[in-house]
Amino acid sequence: GESVGLHLPTLSVQEGDNSIINCAYSNSASDYFIWYKQESGKGPQFIIDIRSNMDKRQGQRVTVLLNKTVKHLSLQIAATQPGDSAVYFCADTTTSGGSYIPTFGRGTSLIVHP
């Protein structure tokens, strides 16, 4: 079946380093991708999104790269801070019944060491 997955369950970095979180998807019909951040005890929060007609999108300290050829998505966080410590989820989105339905990966835990 279709799935979204993450290569690494845990990523440890030093404060100030750049972080890269990877994600693979298998649904070639997906046309919209989202990254979420989830802090302990809270709901997922939207970080950045990208449509399938783009290969790169930048936000504040974050960049998402999309490689449709190999069905790969990555989230880059520049100058990682302790406040970035959280679980990060990628999601690919398909359309069903007029609604966008995201399918989430299992998540990567980012640990930032001061």
- Rule CB under 8 A: which residues touch another protein? 32, 34, 36, 41-46, 49, 89, 93, 96-107
Task: Answer yes or no: are the C-beta atoms of 21 and 37 closer than 8 Å.
Answer: no
- In the complex, what is the shortest distance from the CB of residue 17 to another protein, in angstroms, rounded to a whole number? 26
- In the complex, what is the shortest distance from the CB of residue 62 to another protein, in angstroms, rounded to a whole number? 15
23 versus 77: smaller Cβ distance to another protein:
23
15 versus 31: smaller Cβ distance to another protein:
31
Query: Cα Rg for the chain, rounded, in angstroms?
Result: 14
- In the complex, what is the shortest distance from the CB of residue 32 to another protein, in angstroms, rounded to a whole number? 6
Alpha carbons 29 and 46: distance in angstroms, whole number: 22
